Structure 1
């Protein structure tokens, strides 16, 4: 996988299902191995990205994890996490499994 500080493997929406509220995050340690996953809120991830930490999605293919797309912070009417730069509020990590299902 590419060298990112963190990888996201699952998401959870807010109660209205309008935006991502939590993300399952896997930090990469100084030894290059994953630390135990934690759940972070969207604002926590945005804060880390604004502090120059890098994030990518990751998906499990068979028994192997594959790196996905880099996360970026964009401003529409609020801060969103997205993997693709455009003016849409959709396509925000929506292909990852929900935390409760992963």
Structure 2
């Protein structure tokens, strides 16, 4: 079974008005170099819609550990980013560190 390649990793979130406003993420090839970017939620949604894979990533005792797959959820015509409900709590977007 082939595993989908992860293109981007979300490590932190910025919350405004109770919702994720933007995220800090890394291109897969730049994670080790610490070259993070800040994207809006819409940029994340657009990237997922183009077929790219985005996961959360958590730092555990100085090591990066892969988290949950980021998905798009639409409620009342508004799209949000979320993670799979069956993943562990530390991997979920709302539990990532804030910036």
- Give the TM-score normalised by the residue count of structure 1: 0.78
- Structure 1: distance between partners of 2:74 and 2:84: 13
The superposition leaves residues 48-95 of structure 1 with CA deviations (integer Å, 9 ceiling, x where unpaired) of: 00000110001000010000000011111210101026xxxxxx6101
The count of aligned residue pairs is: 88
- Tell me the SS of whatever aligns to 1:71: strand
Structure 2 unaligned spans of 5+? 86-91
Structure with the largest fraction of helix: 2
- Tell me the SS of whatever aligns to 2:9: strand
- Structure 1: distance between partners of 2:61 and 2:80: 30
How well do the aligned residues superpose, as a CA RMSD in angstroms?
1.9
- Structure 2: distance between partners of 1:45 and 1:64: 24
Structure 1 unaligned spans of 5+? 86-91
1:42 maps to which residue? 41
Structure with the largest fraction of strand: 2
- Structure 2: distance between partners of 1:70 and 1:84: 7
- Give the TM-score normalised by the residue count of structure 2: 0.81
Among residues 6, 9, 24, which one is paired with 1:4 in the alignment? 6
